Chain A
Amino acid sequence: MSLALNTTRRLRLGHVDLSLIPLGLAGLFLAMLVLLPLGWLLAYTVTDESGALSWTNVVELADTSLFLEPFITTFGIALGVASLACLLAVPLAWLVARTDVPARRLLRGLVMVSFITPPFIGAVAWVLLAAPNSGLLNQYYRGITGAGTFDYLFNIFSAAGIIFVMASYAFPYVFVLAANTLDRMPHDLEEASAILGGGRWHTFRRVTLPMVLPALLAGFIIAFLQAMTQFGTPAILALPAGFHVLTTKIWSLFQFPPKAHLAAACAMPLLLVTIFLLRLEKTLLGRRGYTMVGGKSGSPQLAKLGVWRWPALLLALLLLFVTVLLPNLVLVRASMLRSVSDPWTLETITWANVPLVFGLSNTVGVLKNTLVTGVVSATLGTAFAVLIAYLTARRAVPGHQVLGFLATAPAAIPGIVLGVALFIAYTRPPFQLYGTLWILLLAFLTIEMPPAYQQMQAAFRGLNPELEDASRILGAGRMKSLAKVVAPLLKTSVAATWCFVFIGAIRELSATILLTTSNTKLVSVLIYDLNEGGALGGIAVLGLVLMAVTAVVVLIANRVAHVGVMPDGR
């Protein structure tokens, strides 16, 4: 971690700075956000139903079908997802960042589209595409090859199917990380190697790879963590195949009669593995620092692909078509069919799915809940991230390190674990929030705080504090300087963070599934309900509406923030 030591100035405590009070409250709130649920989680792990101290929950983890089997399955799937995601993302990132492949902007844009698709909608889309018998791809396969009625090419209800679907929604994260590293990597070292006679392969192996490797491993870990902690995709694909992963098992412990103590115990290992992997990631990424000693270099020389330019583009487009566009296309198709395996003809096209979904008298309310919690989480989360990032980047208050730690700590809490913890913490006095949108707001704030904070901190680091100092010397208070000087300069980053939190809230299902009631249902949970009822056409309608609304909100947010200024193009 590089710290800009020379650019900070400690707050003079000679006079009482009133802004310290809200800052203190912010710290307290952050602490509560993390510590209260985790405290309860720990308490539940080591107690039984009567509240007495007991190790039975932990001992029960030795039961293979309860814990070990799902744990091993989860581990295997996560390894597969991380490997596949890297395999897809890294070559693509290299193409886009370091070669002269055409349409590089389009390729980056397409990867971003996949962020808008929540993975659980993607999982349903892949059921439509690759269920062994009714899946469209298998139908085409039989049509083309003349294979038998029950022959199939793909079976999405399998570990391999799950790995594929999860990897297609995890690889954008790896891609962003890898592409950013490749973008920023100083190319003089590579050039030096070339000048000294190193061949292309030698340079790649001895210079480029060691520089990219930490980012690669970090990407691997992120994909691994995503796969390990996701609920929606395995619930939609693994349960029909007859097996559990850890998240679905924890969720199943909440079915009647709910076993919250056992669920807490099952969540603990997930928490510990996540903490361990994040430490590892930090260590790996921390090592990257010394490669940057050379300082800023010009933009890297793009590798000339020559005759391979167009085939490379075609391959990249094909990859993005399969992972990003195809699932969305099949949703459009299914939204207009009564039975999703029907052929698409004038006779079979129907609007019946629309009244089915919106005939559920709470669908409009569910959409409203989703939008409200999304917008409020994004707004509060961004405001909070700005505040904390400001305090830590400027070292404005004593103890700012604690604030920074608290803001990043939730990254170690998987969604489903947080769901369990929040459920336990907020179904009792003094904060009886279950059944209100507040508990969802807390969940989203907690989950999205680390990335939001990290983004804002990076933005603050790039901002020279002299500007604020000038404002304060001229008589403005800290808050005024923040509002009038800092905020306008950070507009782009703020908008990006806002969108990130908003999309994160829309995509969330792991914690949400445990925290909603009929009155506080969100679209993600309604989609899950519809899936349990087998209403695939209805899911398609709702999923498309959700993505359209998300896209519009994100566009508006960008519009409001930029007013004419375009993002830096990438």
Chain B
Amino acid sequence: MEVTRRTVLAASTIMGFASAAQAQRPEPQPLAPDLVAAAKKDGKIGWYTADDLVLATKVAKAFEAKYGITVQLERSGAERIYQRIAQEYASNISEVDVATTSDVGHTVSWNANGWLTPFIPAEVTKWPAQAIGSNGLYIVDKFTLVTPGYNGRLVKAEDAPKSWNDLLDQKWKNKLVKAHPGYSGAITNETLALSRTLGWEFYEKLAKQGVLQVQSATDPPMRTAQGERAIMADGAENTSNRLIMEGAPLVLIYPPEGVPVVAVGSVVMKRSQRPNAAQLFMHYLVSPECQAINVANGARSFDPSVTEPANWTHLSKIKLLFNDPNDLAKEAEEIKKRYTKIFGV
């Protein structure tokens, strides 16, 4: 109970002294022994997540098995979830307790609306500093990259593209599959980073390549593994890693121009009807157990106690492109609009 009361106090302090729109960095909370019992009383948690479906399902099942608390899993693209929460809140529906988004710009606008109860589980203070969002509002319980890739059965390694600009080669016309920033937070990250690094001309030329336009960043790796397209113009590295571990003929490319990093952030919503279960779930997301599930399913982790499989390309060998959450919040709408204009859908 103690934790809960303290959280409530912290929340009311924020309400009282800061404006509701600007929450302050919360004090990291250790996992108190009585939180579990309080969470069990809540009985259930609504988790809206942009994670890969397979990964999210496994995390939900593991949490249910460990605590006997049902996870109502709502899995969709980050941008869809963002829209859904706004729409549900407008109709006074608050089913979501914890939201996990691959577009952490969302945490900025949620905070501006006064929709967040900033909550940081103390476990992440032992992780590198990036594990807490730069605004102190969310935890990065996993991260991934957006990379191109190809089907090794359809394309020989020596013929394969090596860079983003190689994707514009005539020989890949009608052979590309690509995900959409209007759906996927990972792709919103990519579009912001690459439009800055390569310019919008890159996308204008890519649109002329006859891409198969799918929605989720988890879809291009699947379509490429199936052989529906030989090359994926972009895809979530975590899903690709998982498929490769399952034996899919997928090869990833880490372009020298840089690889967009996707921070996957989790937050507790202020209107949560089950705040204890929500907090326990946040603790679970950063537990070594859950981190092991993340990595076993291809996602990268800040948890120093978890080791990545040896065959993954080490981060030190990749030129990483980071986005600031404030930039994402500011520019996402314009990016999606421009993208839709270029690609037609």
Contact = CB atoms under 8 A, between A and B. Distances in A.
Nearest to A135: B228
Interface in A497-551: 517-519, 529-530, 532-536, 538
A534 B230 contact: no
Interface string A304-342: 000000000000000000000000000000000011110
A13 interface: no
A532 B182 CA distance: 12
Interface string A189-208: 00000000000000000000
B223 interface: yes
A427 interface: yes
A435 B91 contact: yes
Contacts of A242: 210-211, 213, 343-345
Given A244-B345, A435-B91, A435-B93, A534 B79 contact: no
A362 interface: yes
A239 B213 CA distance: 7
Most buried by A among B48, B344, B345: B345
A39 interface: no
B226 A340 contact: yes
B223 A517 contact: no
Nearest to A434: B91
A149 interface: yes
Contacts of B57: 355-356, 359-360
B154 A149 contact: yes
Given A256-B83, A432-B91, A517-B93, A361 B70 contact: yes
Interface string B182-221: 1100000000000000000000000000111111101100
A157 interface: yes
B79 A256 contact: yes
A131 B226 CA distance: 11
Contacts of B88: 435, 517-518
A534 B224 CA distance: 11
Nearest to B344: A242
B95 A133 contact: no
Contact of B75 (A248, A427, A533): A533
Nearest to A518: B74
Contact of A134 (B46, B77, B90, B227): B227
Contacts of A65: 341, 344
Most buried by B among A252, A361, A362, A534: A534
Given A257-B333, A517-B93, A532 B216 contact: yes
B76 interface: yes
A65 B344 CA distance: 8
A255 interface: yes
A150 B230 contact: yes
B42 to A, nearest CB: 15
B160 interface: no
Nearest to A536: B222
A8 B225 CA distance: 68
Most buried by A among B54, B210, B218: B54
A24 interface: no
A518 B46 contact: yes
B219 to A, nearest CB: 3
A243 interface: yes
Contact of A362 (B74, B210, B213, B219): B74
A539 to B, nearest CB: 12
Contact of A361 (B72, B87, B218, B219): B72
A536 B184 CA distance: 18
Interface in A353-378: 355-356, 359-362
Interface in A258-307: 258
B84 A518 contact: yes
A399 interface: no
Given A149-B154, A533-B218, 8 more contacts: A133-B228, A244-B345, A361-B60, A435-B88, A518-B46, A518-B95, A529-B75, A536-B222
